[in-house]
Structure 1
Amino acid sequence: MSPKQQRGAATAEVLLDTALRVYAETGEQGLTVAALTKASGVSLGSLYHHFGSIDGLLDALTQRWLDRLLGELLDALRQTRTARTGIRALVRTYLAFVREYPDASRLLHSSRADRRAMALARELRDTQEARVSAFGLWMQAHIDSGEVAPLPQPLIESLVLGPVVAVTRRWLSGLGDVDLDEAVRVLPDRIWSAIGATR
Structure 2
Amino acid sequence: MTPKQQRGTVTADLLLDAALRLYGAEGERGITVGAVTKASGVSLGSLYHHFGSIDGLVAELMHRWLTRLLGDLFTALQEARTTQAAIHGLVRAYLAFVKEHRDAALLLHSSTADQHNMSRGKEIRDTQEARLSAFGLWLDPRIESGELAPLPHALIESLVLGPVVAVARRWLSGIDDVDLDEAARLLPDRIWRSLAP
The alignment's TM-score, normalised by the length of structure 2, stands at 0.97
Deviations 1:95-126 (A, max 9, x none): 11111110010011111111111111111011
Q: Which residue of 2 aligns with 1:125?
A: 125
Alignment partners' CA distance in 1, 2:114 and 2:160: 18
Q: Which residue of 2 aligns with 1:38?
A: 38
Q: Which residue of 1 aligns with 2:11?
A: 11
Alignment partners' CA distance in 2, 1:114 and 1:140: 29
CA RMSD of aligned residues (A): 0.9
Helix, strand or coil for the counterpart of 2:133? helix
Helix, strand or coil for the counterpart of 1:146? coil
Q: Which residue of 2 aligns with 1:145?
A: 145
Superposed displacement of residue 11, structure 1: 0.5
Alignment partners' CA distance in 1, 2:111 and 2:139: 28
Deviations 1:146-199 (A, max 9, x none): 0111111111100110000000001111111101111111111111121110xx
Superposed displacement of residue 129, structure 1: 0.5
Counterpart code for 2:179: D
Q: Does 1:160 align with 2:187?
A: no
List gaps (5 residues or longer) in structure 1.
Answer: none
| Identity of matched residues, % | 66
Helix, strand or coil for the counterpart of 2:175? coil
- Is residue 83–residue 139 contact of structure 1 (8 Å, CA) maintained in 2? no
Alignment partners' CA distance in 1, 2:114 and 2:83: 28
Superposed displacement of residue 83, structure 1: 1.6
Q: Which residue of 2 aligns with 1:170?
A: 170
Superposed displacement of residue 26, structure 1: 1.1
Deviations 1:57-76 (A, max 9, x none): 01111111111111111111
Helix, strand or coil for the counterpart of 1:74? helix
- Is residue 82–residue 142 contact of structure 1 (8 Å, CA) maintained in 2? no
List gaps (5 residues or longer) in structure 2.
Answer: none
